[in-house]
Amino acid sequence: MIIDATDLAILKILQQDPLIPATKIAEILNIKPATVRYRIKKMIDKGVIRRFLIDIDPKAIGYEITGYLLIRARPGKEFDIADELVKMNEVRGLIITIGDFSILTEIWCKDLDDYRKLMNKMNKNENVEEIVSLVQFKKVK
């Protein structure tokens, strides 16, 4: 299934509020409520939306590489790194932790080139001491 900009906009709104009425989404996007309902149903039927929390299949919208980065920050620099990471499109989730690593991020990359660019950018960050990359093989649950 090919996802266009309107589908992506609908998904973004639903991720923020899965219970938002189609009429409100239509108003935000300046499209008809029937169009919103049709597109949501199509994405459910094709498996892009798997359940309502919203759980999006990354590969269905073009993300071939998914995984996690464990990042060890220089002491006191966790929030500086986190502030930078949350601005990156590839970062889908971020947790600041206590333990051997300071930050856990979930990443989605379109392809290997995007993954390399992300890793190069992170490796150049002077506040990062170490990165462990875990590329997802198969999501079980």
* pTM for this prediction: 0.65
Class of domain 63-135: alpha beta
Burial 97-120 (b: 16+ CB within 10 A, else e): eeeebbbbbbbbbeeeebbeebee
Mean pLDDT by 10 residues, the chain (141 residues): 94 92 97 97 95 86 96 96 95 95 97 95 95 91 74
Does residue 54 have a cis bond before it (omega within 30 degrees)? yes
Query: Who contacts 32 (Cβ-Cβ below 8 Å, separation ≥6)?
Result: 26
CA distance 120 to 109: 13
Domain positions in the chain: 5-60, 63-135
Taking domain 5-60, whether its CATH number is 3.90.1150.10 is answered by: no
| AA identity, residue 132 | V
Quote the pLDDT of residue 129. Answer: 96
CA distance 114 to 96: 24
Quote the pLDDT of residue 54. Answer: 73
